[in-house]
């Protein structure tokens, strides 16, 4: 009986870990995308001046 709560706790922690990993990955991809967009905008502005 004492062993039953342990897998529940672990699975709960795993869910939170998965959620955290997924959200940080999404944020990473979004920040990467915004950096690429910023570079494209800068490049266009630079080409306009040249």
Q: What is the DSSP letter of 1?
A: -
Average pLDDT over residues 20-24: 90
The sign of the torsion formed by the CA atoms of 35, 39, 44, 48 equals positive
Residue 2 within any structural domain of the chain: no
In the chain, the number of structural domains is: 1
Share of the chain above pLDDT 70, in %: 80
Of residues 9 and 11, more confidently modeled: 11
The reported pLDDT for the residue numbered 43 is: 92
The residue range of the domain holding 43 is: 24-50
Give the whole-angstrom CA distance, residue 9 versus residue 13: 6
The reported pLDDT for the residue numbered 8 is: 67
pLDDT surpasses 60 at 1 = no
Give the whole-angstrom CA distance, residue 50 versus residue 48: 5
Residue 1 within any structural domain of the chain: no
Residue 36 within any structural domain of the chain: yes
Residue 45 within any structural domain of the chain: yes
| Helices (H) then strands (E): counts for the chain | 1, 0
């Amino acid at each position: 009986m004492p062993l039953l709560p342990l897998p529940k706790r672990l699975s709960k922690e795993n869910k939170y870990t998965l959620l955290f990993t997924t959200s940080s990955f999404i944020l990473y991809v979004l920040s990467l995308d915004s950096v690429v967009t910023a570079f494209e905008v800068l490049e266009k502005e630079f080409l306009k001046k040249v």
